[in-house]
Amino acid sequence: MNEVAPATAVAQVPATGTSLVTPQCELYMWAGSFHRVPRDFTLPSGTLRIAWQHWCAGQPPLRVLLKHDMSCRTMEVRLAELQRLMKHVESLLSNDEIHRAYSSLDSAGILFTQVVNRLPFSSSSSKDWAFFSSTTRNQVLVVGRRSFEEFDEPIPNRHTIVVSSTLQRPESGATGARSSGVQFAQTLEQALQIANTDPQYRNCNRVFIGGGERLYKEAMDAKVADSCYVSRVQQQIADGDTFFPMWSKQFPNLMYTSKTNGGGSTRVSFEIWTAATSG
């Protein structure tokens, strides 16, 4: 039986003190079903984005309409055509060839979530979101540029720090309009330094890293966290291409687990794992 990848993963340490001898953070991941679309499948004014407030509530993910976008019906037709094409291609290839075909699109495509179909674990997403929301409320959330730009606005009741080597505080445009109260850092280390020393975060005792995949990997490689919160959806996902880094060896000690019904026959378990102690 194949191991089912966790839908979310969070790792935490306290964010107290003024030094950063051991950087402190939390890790958080959404492991949905993402696909790459060729660059000729673009919109007149922008890219496909996640209206995550909808699918976190258990509804289908809806794209955000921009000023000069094509109609929703036109978008549905184009997505349906693309899905039929991909099914035909997959019927002619082996599993390994399918994996290579999707991977080859990574450097020449834009990331989007399915608009017509639900995410593979959408029935359990409301419980998963409740777990994330209660865990991160009133704390610091560190995210990469792309993850930040996927949000319609910063998540309420959290302090957001955006990590980007190119993006500075925007003064205009869609990103600038929703950047009020958001801080920007060039590196993960700088973001953690801000989280640990800025007086506005003095009442926060935890720092979360909210993606994307590169930021998760960087934090895992640096071994900056001492515990991992995992929301595990018991469901096979055959076509996912975004994965959380291997974490079980770094966090081998199960401290808490709770199981619930995520909807239908889907089971969701919430777990807390702590890091291995150095000896």
- For residue range 145-197, what is the model confidence (pLDDT) as tens digits? 888 877 667 778 889 999 998 876 655 444 444 556 789 999 999 999 999 99
Does residue 229 surpass a pLDDT of 50?
A: yes
pLDDT of residue 165: 85
Q: Both 98 and 56 in a single domain? A: yes
Q: Both 42 and 173 in a single domain? A: no
Q: Both 128 and 109 in a single domain? A: no
- For residue 248, the tally of other CB atoms under 10 A from its CB is 11
Confidence of residue 119 (pLDDT cuts 50, 70, 90): very low
Choose from 112-116, 211-215, 243-247 the range with maximum mean pLDDT: 211-215
| Count of CA atoms in the C-beta half-sphere (13 A) of 244 | 25
CATH code at 241?
3.40.430.10
Strands 266-274 and 253-263: antiparallel
Q: Which residue has the higher pLDDT, 152 or 278?
A: 152
* Chosen domain end from 90, 113, 136: 113
Confidence of residue 261 (pLDDT cuts 50, 70, 90): low
Of 103-117, 136-150, 172-186, 204-218, the poorest mean pLDDT is in 103-117
Does residue 265 surpass a pLDDT of 50?
A: yes
Q: Both 133 and 212 in a single domain? A: yes
pLDDT of residue 195: 92
Give the count of domains, the chain. 2
- For residue range 184-196, what is the model confidence (pLDDT) as tens digits? 999 999 999 999 9
Residue 205 burial by Cβ neighbours in a 10 Å radius (0-12, 13-18, 19+)? middle
Q: Both 97 and 210 in a single domain? A: no
Residue 79's domain spans which residues?
A: 35-113
Q: Both 156 and 187 in a single domain? A: yes
- For residue range 7-54, what is the model confidence (pLDDT) as tens digits? 333 333 333 332 222 222 222 222 233 333 333 333 332 223 333 333
